[in-house]
Amino acid sequence: MIELFVMVLLAVGALWFAFALIGLVFKVTFALVGGLFGLLAGMVGLLIGGVVLLMVAPFVLLALLPLCLPALLMVGLVWAIVHAARRKPTAAPQPSH
């Protein structure tokens, strides 16, 4: 009787091990396929997001223009002062022959 019990346990254990290996193969296969689809979806999402960002960026910049206008005017004023303060280099006198 004990031998029969050991044989049944051995058969059940072997079946469990075989099904565990089959499950492992399915897990690895679907993980790889799912990972590839996830990478593909991420790349497509980045592409679409980049295109949408390029299309929307000018409108966002125009909407933020009133907020940035004082800083832009200050930068323009500083540039104008620096530009006006620069002296043009005087040309060196040419020696005559």
Residue-level pLDDT at 97: 66
pLDDT tens readout for residues 65-81? 999 999 999 999 999 99
CA distance readout (Å), 12 to 2, 16, 96: 15, 6, 112
Residue-level pLDDT at 87: 74
Residue-level pLDDT at 88: 73
pTM score of the predicted model = 0.49
Token code pair at residue 7: 């044989």
Residue-level pLDDT at 41: 97
d(CA 31, CA 41): 15
d(CA 10, CA 96): 113
Residue-level pLDDT at 15: 96
Residue-level pLDDT at 94: 76
Stretches where the chain sits below pLDDT 70 are 89-92, 97
